[in-house]
Amino acid sequence: MNHILTGKQFADTKLREKLFKKAQKFEKLDVQKKIPKILSGKILATVFYEPSTRTRLSFESAALRLGAGVISVEDARASSSDAKGESLEDTIRMVNCYADLIVLRHPEAGTAERAAKVSSVPIINGGDGPNEHPTQALYDVYTVWKRFGRLSGLHLAMGFDPKHSRTIKSFCRLMLAYKNNKITFVRPLGLELDHELIKERENPKVPYKVTRDINQGLEADVFYTNRLQQERFKNSKEFERLRHEYCVTPALLKGKKVLIMNPLPRVDEISPEVDKLKNAIYFEQAKNGLYIRAALLLYALGML
C-alpha cells in the first residue's frame, strides 16, 4: 500500500507521468461511461474533521465510478467519537476494521502522518490544517500540464494568503521542483509564505519575488489565487481588514493571457463575471481532480 501524505511524493517524474496518463485515460472512459469497476469489493472511508465539498465528493465520486463502496464521516469532531474524547489514532484503528483505504481531513498539521503510523490501510491526506493538501496539488499541476504541455519554463503567480493556504504551499512545493520556473507571491503585508518552504526547494535556482501589486501576478502564465483563510486567522478584525484588498476582475484581465486557477471555494478574490472569460479555468481544474483522485486511489492500493 502507499500512503499519500505530502506533495513531495509527486516530484518523482515517473510516478507523476503514470498518474497523469491514468487520469487522462479515466477522463476519456468517463465520457463514454466505460470506466471499469476495478475497485469492486473495496471500501473507501472519508473521515473529515473539517468541511469539504470538492475533496470529499470527488474522492467519493471517483471511488463509486471505479466500483468501490463508500462510507463517510462528515464533521467528525461532532458526529464521531471524537466528541467523546476518542483519540485520532484510535479512530483510525477503528476505521481500519471497516475500510480498505481512508481519506482524512483534519484542522491540525501533521495529523495525516500520525494516522499513517497506526494504520494498516492507506491514508490519503485530504488536507491537514495549514500544512499540506497533496492531492489538490497534484491535480493543480495536472491542470497546468494539460494546458501548457510542460511543467518547466513557466511564470507562476500565487496569492493571496501564502501564509495560511495549504493549497498554495503544496502547489508551490511541486512547481519548485521543475527547471526554469519563476514564482511571484502576491499578498498583503503580514501574510508572507514561510521562507523555510523556499529554502527546502529541490531546485535552488528558482527565482521568486514577493509583492503587494496584483498586476505583477497578472503578468504570469498562471495566477493561482486563493481566498484568505478566515478559519486560520487568530484575529477576526485582521481578516476583515484584509479580505477585500484583492479581487480579480474582468477589467484587470483585459488584454491578459494569464490563466486564473483557484482551488475553490471562491469568496472575495475573484469576481463572478470572470467565470465567462477564457482566462478562468478553475472549474476545469476542479473536474480534473476527479480523474487524478481516481488514479490516486489505485496508487494508494498498489494497483496503478
Residue 106 pLDDT exceeds 90: yes
Catalytic residue among 3, 22, 42, 54, which? Answer: 54
Tell me if residue 133 is catalytic: yes
Catalytic residue among 14, 84, 199, 276, which? Answer: 84
Spatial contact of 54 and 286, defined as CB atoms under 8 Å apart = yes
Rg (CA), the chain: 19
Q: What is the pLDDT of residues 183-228, one digit of tens each?
A: 999 988 777 776 566 655 555 566 778 899 999 999 999 999 988 8
Catalytic residue among 3, 133, 173, 187, which? Answer: 133
- In this structure, what C-alpha cell is assigned to residue 86? 476518542
Overall residue count recorded for the chain in this entry: 304
Catalytic residue among 22, 42, 56, 105, which? Answer: 105
**What is the three-state SS of 18-50?**
HHHHHHHHHHHHHHCCCCCCCCCCCEEEEEECC
Whole-structure pTM value: 0.90
List of domains in the chain: 7-132+289-300 (3.40.50.1370), 134-285 (3.40.50.1370)
Tell me if residue 84 is catalytic: yes
Q: What is the pLDDT of residues 135-189, one digit of tens each?
A: 999 999 999 999 999 999 999 999 888 787 888 888 888 888 888 899 999 988 7
Tell me if residue 55 is catalytic: yes
Tell me if residue 65 is catalytic: no
Tell me if residue 256 is catalytic: no
